[in-house]
A and B are shown apart, each in its own frame.
Chain A
Amino acid sequence: MSLLSLIFDALLGLGLLWLAWRAVSSPGLFASVVLFMVFGFVMAITWARLGAPDLALAEAAISAGLTGALLLSACKAALTDTGNDNELPDEPSTVRRRWPAALICTGLGAVLSIVMIQVAANRAAVPPALAEAVTTHPLDNPITVMLLDLRGYDTLLEVTVLLTAFLGVRILLEQTELPRLHAPRATTPLMVDPLLAMATPVLLMTALYLFWTGMEAPGGAFQAGALLGALGVMYTLTGRFEPLDRTPVLLRLGLILGPGMFAIFACLALTWSEWPLAYPAGATGAAAVAIEFTLMISIAVTLTLLFSATPGLHARHMGVRHP
């Protein structure tokens, strides 16, 4: 049994290394992107194997899934803009740089792996104070306790990073007009309508379930927001959301709702406590649910808009087909 698991671990590790090597070294853009997506899924399997299923879920949904969709979209953009999906061959100057770079990276890789094995072999237990704080907390799931309370400040800044990425993209969109990537088609392929009709309620239900269960079990605003974002991506891809050249006020509200409400909560905390970002005694659960809900909305809206790379989207009225 232990031999089998050793072989399995070794195969996973070697597979990751091989996929990463191919992804950074293969000349074609599309091939690299596909290899990277497979890399993401093998990484998710590895995390599940290491005993972190909720992280594996997030990695598969966000890192492999949504990043993959973004990268495929970038391949399509390369094709639309230049008619060629291969990036240019590497310049001679960087080919000459390969040997020194290989030398540096080999050295770094060797030092890093030796030190990291040593560090990981320290059998540090969870500090007792932390374990106690997490178990006595009104929220049940340790990850949620960390994300929303103990390290809630990081979470607030992280959704601000997401918003900032959109604002940055929005600045870029002012530069020049580029061909649209996800233009609605004149005819919809046969299977799209029934598939979407099936996927929409399933994804909505799963997202709400993940959101609700996040209070006690693995899941939460991020996984739920990512799923809703994936739904938005599907609607964008199939032309059900049409691009706009501005961001309507409702979408702007959706974008800033999460960081805005979290920041207002952080300030309001001074009225019921000595510290910013502290939860009101007795109402921790309710406050956490409210914050998580606004975070979920903002994450979903921002991810959808980031994927579409347009200032805004609106739902196309499905009764009317533009030829």
Chain B
Amino acid sequence: MLMAAVTALLFGPLLTGLVVYLLPSRRLRDIGPVVLAIGLLGPLWHLGTEVVGAGPLVLALGGHFAPLGIELHVDGLALAMLWLTGIVALAVNVYVSASLPVDAHFPATGFRALWLILWSGLNALFMAADLFNIYVMLELTALAAVSLVVVSRGPEAVSAATRYFLFALAGSLFYLLGVALVYGQTGLLSLRVLETSSWGGPVSLLALGLMTGGLAMKAALFPVHAWLPRAHAVAPSAASAALSALVAMAGAYLIIRLWLGPFAGHWPQALAQGMAALGTAGIVYGSIQALRQSRLKLVIAYSTVAQLGYLLLIFPIASLLAWQGVVYHALSHGLAKAAFFLAAGNIIHLLGNDRLTSLSRRDHRLAGSVMVMALSGISLSGLPPSGGFLGKWWLINAALESGQWWWALAAAAGGLLAAAYVFRVLRHALAEPHPDAARDAPIADNLPRRMFWPPMLLALGAVALGFAGQLLSPVIRIGLPTGVGG
């Protein structure tokens, strides 16, 4: 049963994608992914009870354990990310069934096929435990993600996609060179075996540097973030939600895996301080840029640059509490950011554009989306009682416990800046109607329920995470990597 659950997560979306591409039936491509997403909650539940009951899992594809074959690992962190992927995918599938154009031309089918392949790739990436397998998966997810950006037509989309493509290409080559160095030095690719074998020295530092640099380009961490805002802003909103909440985060996830797993203890504390400094620079830069944008989706995209910076704060602290805080932050950011982007998609659906000044229409049809933005904004800026608050609270406490008050300051300041850009958006929505806003008439009369509820439930989920801390923190701690101190 356990194997069947994992197999369904790995290959279910992929095979559905292939069928959707082969048989162009509108009913199939609209309903199939939704049914799949609901169906996959079963395997996720089963996997969850198994991991909670029996501890972290090691699975061998084809029955070949490392170092012969490719293994998959599911620990608490991977489980959390798989659940996040499942929930965001469900929301995206329901949303897409109403939001994409209904005529039968290719992009509607192509979008589904690429998104389903991407979904399989994300599930696989969060379970991956083999350095080279991760490389293949990175290329697969990047190629699907770049193509999803192009689904929005026009020169803006193609130029944003090209920039994304070049960064992704360079990033994976840096990563692959790092993998080659690790293999050359140790003859190993498995994260589990590497974690228990004694090696290190300058080669390991260089390999870690190359892989971190490459993954940072995929995750758009400051200062290699230049591609993200345009790409995530121009993509269809359903794709933006998945790209920001899952794809970009996957890069940061892998950096954390590598630093605290197989490379734990290989890096000096100064390097960890440097990483956290880059993360802080990302928080400040992304937030300030978000404050300066005049388009809603650019505000949200720059917010992703800022929010991913938090994940780097774990390295200098590396305590249990910091681990909990960072994982919780990733989870609540994923839910809130997906909700935010889908709400922006609803506004574009109603108004035909996403200029902040257009929000001041005082139109009752906008009210639901504004509320979603307010709810997810609460979590993004870390206000109680949201999941974002709990994540930041744990992170700040961990920083203070380790005596590094400056990182607590960075996390708190980041929350204030996030509150500033969220309230700037809300202020536009509540302001006197702007002269520009009256000019162009709304393009749609109403919002389908299948587009309204997914972001609303995601945003409520991000807030509700704040009450689930007691329940979820033991799960996140299952199978801690060696780099996390007690």
Asked whether the complex places CB atoms of A and B closer than 8 A, the reply is: yes
A267, CB-defined interface residue at 8 Å: yes
* Cβ contact within 8 Å between B203 and A167: no
Within 8 Å CB of B121, what residues of A? 157
| Contact call B11/A164, Cβ cutoff below 8 A | no
> Closest CB of chain B to A93's CB: distance in Å?
14
A-B contact pairs, 23 of them (CB 8 A): A115-B203, A122-B185, A124-B184, A150-B62, A153-B62, A153-B133, A154-B136, A160-B117, A161-B136, A161-B140, A164-B117, A168-B144, A172-B158, A175-B150, A175-B158, A255-B21, A256-B22, A263-B14, A263-B18, A274-B63, A275-B59, A275-B62, A279-B62
CB distance from B316 to the nearest CB of A (A): 25
Cβ of B357 to closest chain A Cβ, rounded Å: 30
C-alpha gap A256/B16 in the complex (Å): 12
B187 CB contact (under 8 Å) in A127, A160, A164: A127
Query: Known contacts A111-B206, A154-B70, A277-B61; is A164 also within 8 Å of B147 by CB?
Result: yes
Known: A152-B62, A167-B113, A260-B18. A270 touches B143 (CB 8 A): no
Establish whether residues A170 and B110, one from each chain, have CB atoms under 8 Å apart when the complex forms. Answer: yes
| Beta-carbon contact of B62 and A157 below 8 Å | no
Of B1-9, B261-269, B398-406, B462-470, the one with at least 4 CB within 8 A of chain A: B1-9
Q: CB of B107 within 8 A of chain A? A: yes
Are the CB atoms of A164 and B114 closer together than 8 Å?
A: yes
Which residues on B sit within 8 Å (CB–CB) of A124?
184, 187
Please determine whether B110 and A167 come into contact, CB atoms closer than 8 angstroms. yes
A305 to B59, CA, bound (A): 37
Q: Which residues on A sit within 8 Å (CB–CB) of B27? A: none
Contact pick for B7, options A119, A122, A270, A311, CB 8 Å: A270
Identity of the chain A residue whose Cβ is nearest the Cβ of B67 in the assembled complex: A127
* Cα of A269 to Cα of B4 in the assembled complex, Å: 10
Taking A171-B107, A260-B15, A274-B3 as given, write out 10 further A-B residue pairs in contact, using a Cβ cutoff of 8 Å, ordered by the A residue number.
A115-B202, A122-B185, A157-B133, A161-B143, A163-B117, A167-B110, A168-B147, A253-B22, A270-B4, A275-B60
Contact residues of A between 151 and 183, Cβ < 8 Å to B: 151-154, 157-158, 160-161, 163-165, 167-168, 170-172, 174-175
Per the bound structure, the CA–CA distance linking A115 and B105 in Å amounts to 52
User: CB distance A129 to B114 under 8 Å?
Assistant: no
Chain B residues touching A, majority SS: helix
Q: In the complex, which of the residues A129, A171, A277 contacts B147, with contact meaning CB atoms closer than 8 Å? A: A171
Q: Which residues 286-334 of B have a CB within 8 angstroms of A?
A: none
A291 to chain B, nearest CB (A): 12
CB–CB A122/B14 < 8 A: no
The answer on a CB contact under 8 Å between B203 and A119 is: yes
Q: Are the C-beta atoms of B105 and A275 separated by less than 8 Å? A: no
Contact A277 B181 (CB under 8 A): no
Report if B434 contacts A (CB, 8 A).
Answer: no
- The yes or no answer to A278 lying at the interface (CB within 8 A) is yes
A120 within 8 A of B: yes
Q: Is A10 an interface residue (CB 8 A)?
A: no
- Residues of chain A within 8 A of B106, CB atoms compared: 170-171, 174, 246, 311
Q: Quick one: which of B114-168 are within 8 Å of A by CB?
A: 114, 117, 121, 124, 132-133, 136-137, 139-140, 143-144, 146-147, 150-151, 153-154, 158
Contact A276-B10, Cβ < 8 Å, known A118-B203, A153-B133, A168-B143: yes
A residues in contact with B136, CB < 8 Å = 154, 157-158, 161
Q: Does B42 contact A (CB under 8 A)?
A: no
| Cβ–Cβ contact B181 & A119, under 8 A | yes
A202-B160 Cα distance, complex, nearest whole Å: 44
Contact status B133-A154, CB under 8 Å: yes
CB-based contact B61/A152 at 8 Å: yes
Q: Would you give the 0/1 interface string for A243-286, flagging 1 where the beta carbon is closer than 8 Å to chain B?
A: 00010010011011001100110110110011111110000000
Flag if B143 contacts A165 (CB, 8 Å).
Answer: yes
Interface size of B as a range:
35 or more
A119-144 contact mask (Cβ, 8 Å, vs B): 1 or 0: 11010100101100100000000000
B39 at the interface (CB under 8 A from A): no
- Check if B69 is an interface residue, CB within 8 A of chain A: yes
Q: Is the CB of B143 within 8 A of A157?
A: no
Q: Is the CB of B69 within 8 A of A150?
A: yes
Q: Is A85 an interface residue (CB 8 A)?
A: no
Q: Which of B68, B105, B151, B153 has most A Cβ within 10 Å?
A: B68
Q: Are A164 and B144 in contact (CB under 8 A)?
A: yes
Q: Which residues of B contact A269 (CB under 8 A)?
A: 62
Interface check B362, CB cutoff 8 A: no
Does residue A318 face the partner (Cβ distance < 8 Å to B)? no
Is A54 close to B, CB under 8 A? no
Task: Tell me whether A175 and B153 are in contact (CB under 8 A).
Answer: yes
Does B427 sit at the interface, judged by CB under 8 A? no
Instruction: Tell whether, in the assembled complex, residue A276 and residue B7 are in contact, meaning their CB atoms are under 8 Å apart.
Output: yes
Give Cα distance in the complex from A124 to B158, angstroms: 46
Cα of A172 to Cα of B61 in the assembled complex, Å: 35
A40 CB, min distance to chain B CBs, angstroms:
17
Contact A161 B139 (CB under 8 A): yes
CA distance A167 to B110 in the complex (A): 7
Q: Which residues of A contact B59 (CB under 8 A)?
A: 275
A4 contacts partner chain B, Cβ-Cβ < 8 Å: no
Sorted from nearest, which 5 A-B pairs have the closest CB atoms?
A168-B147, A119-B184, A275-B63, A277-B62, A256-B18
* Those of B24-78 within 8 Å (CB) of chain A: 59-64, 67-70
Q: Roughly how many angstroms separate A165 CA and B144 CA in the complex, as a whole number?
A: 8
Quick check: B150 and A172 within 8 Å, CB to CB? yes
Interface centre among A165, A275, A278, A311, by most chain B C-beta atoms within 10 angstroms, is: A275
Chain B residue contacts of A170, Cβ below 8 A: 106, 110
Is A116 an interface residue, CB under 8 A from the partner? yes
A256 touches B143 (CB 8 A): no
Residues in B neighbouring A153, C-beta threshold 8 A: 61-62, 70, 133
Q: Chain B, 183-194, contact with A by CB distance < 8 Å: what is the 0/1 string? A: 011010000000
- Name A122's contact: one of B22, B146, B158, B184 (CB within 8 Å): B184
In angstroms, how far is the closest chain B Cβ from the Cβ of A63? 14
Contact status B68-A133, CB under 8 Å: yes
B151 pairs with A171, CB closer than 8 A: yes
> B4, B110, B154: which contacts A171 (Cβ < 8 A)?
B110
What residues of chain B lie closer than 8 Å to A152, measured between beta carbons?
A: 61-62
Question: Within residues 194 to 218 of chain B, which ones have a CB less than 8 A from any CB in chain A?
Answer: 202-203, 206
In the complex, chain A residues whose CB is within 8 Å of the CB of B137:
157
Question: Which residues of chain A have C-beta atoms less than 8 A from B177's C-beta?
Answer: 112
- Assess the B105–A174 pair: CB atoms within 8 A: yes
| Shortest beta-carbon distance from A245 to chain B in Å | 10
Q: What distance in Å separates the Cβ of A285 from its nearest Cβ neighbour in chain B?
A: 16
User: Could you tell me the distance in whole angstroms from the C-beta of A12 to the nearest C-beta in chain B?
Assistant: 20
Contact check, A174 vs B107: say whether CB atoms are below 8 A apart: yes
**Interchain CB contact under 8 A, B64 and A157:** no
- In chain B, what residue has the closest Cβ to A130? B68
Residues of B within 8 A of A311 (CB): 106
